[in-house]
Amino acid sequence: MNGTTTRNIVRGLAAATCSLLGTAAALPAIAQEKHWEFDTALLYYGEDGDRVQDISLNLLARRLFPDDKILSIGFAVDSLTGATPSGAVPQNELQTFTRPSGLATYSVAAGGLPLDDTFLDTRYALTASWQQPLGENYAGTAGVSFSTEYDYTHVGANLALARDFNKRNTTVSLGLAVARDELDPVGGAPLPLALMSDVGDLSGRAGSESKDVVDVLLGVTQIVNERFLMQFNYSLSDASGYLNDPYKIMSVVDPISGQPINRPPTPGLVGPLHEYRFENRPDQRTKHSLFGQGKYYLDGKVLDMSYRYMTDAWGIDSHTLDAKLNWPVGDASYIEPHIRFYTQSEADFYRVSLRDGDPLPQFAAADYRLGRFDAITAGIKYGWQTSAGNDFAVRLEYYRQEGEIPSGQLLAGQDSDSLYPGLDAIIFNISYGFAW
């Protein structure tokens, strides 16, 4: 094929193909390559009452290179408002708390659940990853992540390696991620189990803190047949450093009556009227997690079920069962009901409150997220393809969480239902995916 004949190949081939197929000249092809894929989503998460409201915007762009390399860039903005339970228990009298800044107080009416609104914040997150083949049978991915908010900065890096076996029906992957998070809590991180002090007294505060997290993941994906795909993951996560929530406190109560212990503020100062202590968690947490997922395809519908078991060094065991059914309706749309059940046991050091007169435990926290609770998520998604071939979807979900105080921790006058701050939340998500 020298220069002169090269030019004639396409035309000569078209003529030969015409005679072979016995048809008139074919209509010209219309084919277009898409180099970029974009996934965008707007999420609203709203808890009932004055609790957390989160609006987040997520953008993910993927550049597909012709030689099997993929660049992914993600950007997210989260805007959190509202308040979250501080860990103090409701009381029959007015409660006053020093704000985390140490510069003011706020009060909660008798019988009210103590909420702390220091939580409101805006978070920006960026991720980037690069994936490419490594030799004949391997693929590597390397990525970085960064996020920042008022009192928190996260920097992370991750690596993953995947290998195919068994005519590409089996993929084994190994991943490693490391992260360092810096916390610079408002007013400084409280010293472990320190008493909440009067306004202006920052003696119980330290400066900024940090934690390191290492995650290792081992996964196997198996294509069983054309209709069935299974995936199993084992992951190990080790966090060390400052693992407390600097804004969470515990009420100190009378061991007989369960009533709060009075604490008169220093004359001339304002401060809490009762005793509260900041929490303290172990400075290390190792988690093991096993995950299994099956996707079954039947007559256009896809059933996706998964189960996760997690156990950690803090004594929390959790089980998650998740099921989705993607059901096509009409020409270019589908509905997808979703249900998820979650249950966890409490951390060994979970205390709904501290008993006055008892020696202080080494570790204690009243954070409801470390307590025993069950949660259910139920919702539905409706998705459709636009005439331009892009994907639109809306998802509405309801989340309910109900907890229980371990019976041994309840004192006279305390009851589990009013002490565990269960919650109801609504999740609404709009997503749009397009290629370019």
Partner 1 sequence: MATAERLIPLVVQRQKDHWRGEFTAMGSPCEVLSKASRSIAQMQVGAVAAEAWRIESSFSRYNSDNIVHRINTVNGVAIEVDPETANLIDFAAALYKLSDGRFDITSGVLREVWTFDGSDRVPNEDQVSAVLARVGWHKVLWKRPTLTLLPGMQIDFGGIGKEYAVDRAASIAASFSDAPCLINFGGDMAAVSADPGCMPWRVGIESLTPGTAKPFKRIDLQRGGLATSGDARRFLLKNNIRFSHLLNPLTGWPVVNAPRSVTVAADTCTEAGMLATLAMLMGSGAEPFLQQQAIRSWCIPQLHRGGSGGRTCG
Pick between residue 133 and residue 200 the one whose CB is nearest to partner 1: 133
Using DSSP's 3-state secondary structure scheme, residue 252 falls into strand
Position 33 contacts partner 1 (CB under 8 A): yes
Position 13 contacts partner 1 (CB under 8 A): yes
Pick between residue 92 and residue 136 the one whose CB is nearest to partner 1: 136
Position 218 contacts partner 1 (CB under 8 A): no
Can you tell me which of 124, 138, 309, 398 binds partner 1, judged by CB under 8 A? 138
Least spacing, CB of residue 164 vs partner 1, in Å: 4
Q: Is 96 exposed, middle or buried (0-12, 13-18, 19+ CB in 10 A)?
A: middle
Least spacing, CB of residue 326 vs partner 1, in Å: 10
Are 379 and 432 in contact by the 8 Å Cβ rule? The answer is no
Can you tell me which of 385, 409, 416, 431 binds partner 1, judged by CB under 8 A? 385
Dist CA 284 CA 182 (whole Å): 16
Backbone angles phi, psi at 96, to 5 degrees: -120, 135
Can you tell me which of 92, 135, 166, 225 binds partner 1, judged by CB under 8 A? 135
Position 139 contacts partner 1 (CB under 8 A): yes
Position 149 contacts partner 1 (CB under 8 A): no
**Side chain identity at residue 79, one-letter code:** S
Can you tell me which of 168, 264, 268, 408 binds partner 1, judged by CB under 8 A? 168
Position 132 contacts partner 1 (CB under 8 A): yes
Residues 6+ apart with CB under 8 A from 195: 204, 263, 275, 276, 277
Position 7 contacts partner 1 (CB under 8 A): yes
C-alpha torsion angle, residues 203, 117, 353, 406 (rounded to 10): -150
Position 435 contacts partner 1 (CB under 8 A): yes
**Side chain identity at residue 294, one-letter code:** G
Per-residue x/- marks for partner 1, 64-83, CB under 8 A?
xxxxxxx-------------
Dist CA 312 CA 316 (whole Å): 6
C-alpha torsion angle, residues 239, 241, 245, 247 (rounded to 10): -160
Can you tell me which of 110, 332, 360, 430 binds partner 1, judged by CB under 8 A? 332
245, 101, 121: which is closest to 183 by C-alpha?
245
**285: number of Cβ within 10 Å:** 19
Interacting positions 352-381 with partner 1 (CB under 8 A):
none
Pick between residue 67 and residue 267 the one whose CB is nearest to partner 1: 67
Pick between residue 21 and residue 203 the one whose CB is nearest to partner 1: 21
Are 80 and 53 in contact by the 8 Å Cβ rule? The answer is yes
Can you tell me which of 267, 300, 359, 408 binds partner 1, judged by CB under 8 A? 300
Q: How many residues bind partner 1 (CB under 8 A)?
A: 66
Token reading at 412 = 């006279």
Using DSSP's 3-state secondary structure scheme, residue 18 falls into helix
Footprint of partner 1 on this chain (CB under 8 A)? 1-2, 5-10, 12-17, 19-23, 25-34, 37, 62, 64-70, 131-133, 135-139, 162-164, 168, 171, 173, 221, 226, 299-300, 328, 331-334, 385, 387-389, 435
